Amino acid sequence: MDDNGRLLRFRAHHAEKLLARGDGVAATVRRPEALDDLTSQYGESLWIATLDVSNDGAVRPVVDAAFGAMGRIDVVVSNAGYGLFGAAEEVSDEQIRHQINTNLIGSIQVIRAALPHMRAQGGGRILQLSSEGGQIAYPNFSLYHATKWGIEGFIEAVSQEVAPFGIEFIIAEPGPARTDFGRGLVAPQPMEVYDATPAGEIRRAIADGRFEAKGDPVKMAQAMIEAAEQYSAPKRLALGTGSYASIRKALVERLTELDAFKEVTMSADVD
């Protein structure tokens, strides 16, 4: 997923809803022209900068400039992303690095750059767009899942570090949504050996439209905005019936397995 995929759709929906009710928005995109319609409609209420979060050195200056331009930013939405689709041994080293640099390191750097400003202003919230794929996993998305599980673990720790400063996190976990997700995926040359495996089945399901997407991106964006404005916001917000069912099933299975091996687990301490 790059700027023509699911994440731009969520970004545009977020921005449009906030601007329509009179809020100021600072947006960073890889292609500024993607928000031309909003710029012409809302003018100075929308501040835009070009940013590729996979470029480490560019993140902090742009985030600093955004806070400088807006004065105060109550909610930072971190939603840059890239979708790499292929079995683990099919993808290239370069694709792996780009996946991790964008989804994981890029998201980490955005959060790190925002923290000093939020401390100085007495708090705020950071909404990180993850995915149901931060709690579950599908074949062919191993590197994508590595970054989503990774950023969720990072936030679990950082949220404890900055809670005394009034900084809170929300991890949004949308399920499959009706966006351009499939067309935005980056896929290496498939290996024939995986045709008759779960990886091959997922590849065919996405290609022929059997990978069901029930989520409404407009409703999901609205749910994220409303969660960010609640006095007591959830740390994780699953979005869509598919996300709820998949995450709940995975959590129950993990808990069942944990309890099944409790005796072995408890025996591993020092006597």
Give me the chain's average pLDDT, please.
87
- Condensed to tens digits (0 to 9), the pLDDT of residues 125-164 reads 999 999 999 999 999 999 999 999 999 999 999 999 999 9
With a CB cutoff of 8 Å and minimum separation 6, the contacts of 12 are: 34, 35, 38
CATH number belonging to domain 6-266: 3.40.50.720
Measured between its terminal Cα atoms, the distance across the chain in Å is: 51
Question: What one-letter code names the amino acid at 114?
Answer: A
Are the C-beta atoms of 31 and 3 separated by less than 8 Å? yes
Question: What one-letter code names the amino acid at 69?
Answer: A
Catalytic residues: 130, 144, 148
Q: What is the Cα–Cα distance from 240 to 133, expressed in whole angstroms?
A: 13
Neighbours of 60 (CB within 10 A): 15
- What is the pTM for the complete model shown? 0.89
Mean pLDDT calculated for residue range 30-59 = 82
pLDDT at 6: 37
Neighbours of 95 (CB within 10 A): 18
Q: What is the Cα–Cα distance from 60 to 196, expressed in whole angstroms?
A: 46
